[in-house]
């Protein structure tokens, strides 16, 4: 059995982001500050528990890593199997997508008044360390895909709500039809961020072991 990864970087991210949402900053300032924290989190790739890194043979997976008890933000691990992609969708809250492993493409869209779906520029290619932002104020509709046909990719997403329970939409590129969408999560479990016992034991020098 392999050793459990040290989850401290994720716990530190959750603590820092909780402090930031407590400040009640305007959305752009909050996103910029959370982005700095996410940047630190995805700089290393040794903390994601294996159960939140598993691809599914048919569908992309979204594993909840943490949800703020007041649902002001959540952290989710998205795992794409080879060639997998999301539908064209929106978020209805702010979001940051940071690539951890592999590579992804993100194509932004706008829905015109007559229902036409127009691609905004060409697909963005994202590699580990890259971060993109979405929100109803900066552009909220996109399609994200694994850039690789032969291996999984993983990104860490932060949203300004409990994203699995947000009423959202998917869009039909062919005719602009809009359908309601509530994503849910792929697992009933979240990682245990809070077993700090080893850290505390280490402070008890001379204590019986
Ligand atoms: Fe998205």
Q: What is the pLDDT of residues 100-151, one digit of tens each?
A: 999 999 999 999 999 999 999 999 999 999 999 999 999 999 999 999 999 9
Kindly give the distance from the C-alpha atom of residue 43 to the centroid of ligand 1, in angstroms, as a whole number: 21
37 within a domain of the structure (yes/no): yes
For the residues 176-192, what does the mean pLDDT come to? 96
Instruction: Provide the domain limits for residue 158.
Output: 8-187
- Percent share of the chain, pLDDT over 70: 97
Kindly give the distance from the C-alpha atom of residue 150 to the centroid of ligand 1, in angstroms, as a whole number: 22
Q: Is residue 163 helix, strand or coil?
A: helix
Kindly give the distance from the C-alpha atom of residue 208 to the centroid of ligand 1, in angstroms, as a whole number: 51
Number of domains in the chain: 1
Kindly give the distance from the C-alpha atom of residue 89 to the centroid of ligand 1, in angstroms, as a whole number: 6
195 within a domain of the structure (yes/no): no
193 within a domain of the structure (yes/no): no
192 within a domain of the structure (yes/no): no
**Can you give the pTM of this predicted structure?**
0.94
Kindly give the distance from the C-alpha atom of residue 44 to the centroid of ligand 1, in angstroms, as a whole number: 22
171 pLDDT more than 50: yes
200 within a domain of the structure (yes/no): no
152 within a domain of the structure (yes/no): yes
Kindly give the distance from the C-alpha atom of residue 165 to the centroid of ligand 1, in angstroms, as a whole number: 14
155 pLDDT more than 50: yes
Kindly give the distance from the C-alpha atom of residue 49 to the centroid of ligand 1, in angstroms, as a whole number: 22
Kindly give the distance from the C-alpha atom of residue 183 to the centroid of ligand 1, in angstroms, as a whole number: 11
Per-residue pLDDT at 206:
62
3-class secondary structure per residue, the chain: CCCCCCCHHHHHHHHHHHHHHHCCCCHHHHHHHHHHHHHHHCCCCCCCCHHHCCCCCCCCEEEEEEECCCCCCEEEEEEECCCCECCEECCCCCEEEEEEECCEEEEEEEECCCCCEEEEEEEEEECCCCEEEEECCCECEEEEEECCCCCCEEEEEEECCCHHHCCEEEECCCCCCEEEECCCCCCCCCCCCCCCHHHHHHHCCCCCC
- Percent share of the chain, pLDDT over 90: 94
Kindly give the distance from the C-alpha atom of residue 137 to the centroid of ligand 1, in angstroms, as a whole number: 14
What confidence category does residue 205 fall into, taking pLDDT thresholds of 50, 70 and 90?
Answer: confident
Per-residue pLDDT at 71:
98
Q: For residue 126, what are its two tokens? A: 């994202």
206 within a domain of the structure (yes/no): no
The answer to whether 84 touches 207, Cβ cutoff 8 Å, is no
Kindly give the distance from the C-alpha atom of residue 78 to the centroid of ligand 1, in angstroms, as a whole number: 10
34 within a domain of the structure (yes/no): yes
CATH value at residue 151? 2.60.120.10
């Amino acid at each position: 059995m392999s050793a459990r990864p040290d989850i401290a970087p994720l716990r530190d991210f959750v603590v820092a982001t909780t402090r930031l949402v407590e400040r009640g900053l305007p959305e752009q300032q909050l996103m910029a500050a959370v982005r700095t924290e996410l940047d630190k989190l995805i700089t290393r790739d040794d903390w994601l528990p294996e159960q939140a890194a598993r691809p599914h043979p048919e569908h992309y997976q979204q594993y909840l890593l943490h949800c703020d008890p007041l649902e002001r933000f959540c952290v989710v691990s998205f795992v794409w199997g080879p060639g997998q992609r999301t539908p064209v969708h929106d978020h209805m809250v702010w979001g940051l997508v940071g690539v951890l492993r592999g590579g992804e493409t993100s194509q932004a869209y706008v829905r015109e008044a007559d229902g036409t779906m127009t691609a905004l520029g060409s697909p963005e290619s994202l590699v580990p360390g890259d971060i993109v932002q979405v929100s109803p104020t900066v552009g909220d509709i996109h399609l994200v895909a694994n850039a690789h046909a032969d291996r999984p990719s993983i990104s860490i997403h932060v949203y300004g709500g409990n994203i699995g329970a947000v009423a959202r939409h998917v869009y039909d590129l062919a005719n602009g039809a809009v359908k309601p969408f509530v994503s849910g999560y792929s697992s009933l479990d979240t990682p245990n961020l809070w077993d700090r016992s080893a850290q505390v034991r280490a402070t008890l020098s001379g204590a019986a072991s």
